[in-house]
Amino acid sequence: MAGHSQFKNIMRRKGAQDAKKGKILTKVGREIISACKTGSSDPASNPRLRAAIQWAREENMTRDRIEAAIKRGSGNVDSDNFEPIRYEGYGAGGVAVIIQTLTDNRNRTAPEMRSIFSKFGGAMGETGSVSFMFDYIGRISYPLAIATADGMLETAIDVGADNCETDEANHIVTCTLEQFAHVRDGLEKRFGAPESAKMIWQPKNTIVVNEEQAQNLLKMIDTFDDNDDVQEVFSNFEIPDNVMQKLSA
Check: CB of residue 32 under 8 Å from CB of residue 66: yes
pLDDT at position 118: 97
pLDDT at position 14: 40
Whether 14-73 and 82-249 share one fold: the answer is: no
Break the chain into its structural domains and give their ranges. Answer: 14-73, 82-249
How far apart CA 143 and CA 50 sit, in angstroms, is: 20
Residue 63, CA distances (Å) to 56, 66, 139, 222 in order: 9, 5, 24, 28
Q: Which residues contact 38 (CB under 8 A, 6 or more apart)?
A: 48
How far apart CA 67 and CA 49 sit, in angstroms, is: 12
DSSP one-letter code for 82: P
Pairing of strands 207-208, 237-238: parallel
pLDDT at position 58: 86
CATH topology of domain 82-249: Alpha-Beta Plaits (3.30.70)
For 153, list phi and psi in degrees, rounded to 5: -60, -45
Query: Residue 97 pairs with which residues in a beta bridge?
Result: 89, 235
Give, in words, the CATH class of 14-73.
Answer: mainly alpha
For 83, list phi and psi in degrees, rounded to 5: -105, 125
- Host H or E run for residue 234: strand 230-235
pLDDT at position 219: 95
How many Å separate Cα 140 from the centre of its chain?
A: 12
Give the pLDDT of the chain (249 residues) as one tens digit per residue. Answer: 444 433 444 444 444 456 677 888 889 999 999 889 888 888 888 888 888 898 898 888 999 999 999 988 887 665 678 889 999 999 999 999 999 999 999 999 999 999 999 999 999 999 999 999 999 999 999 999 999 999 999 999 999 999 999 998 899 999 999 999 899 999 999 999 898 888 999 999 999 999 999 999 999 999 999 999 999 999 999 999 898 888 887
Mark 108-144 as b/e (b = at least 16 C-beta within 10 Å): ebbebbeebbeebebebbeeebbbebbeebbbbbbee
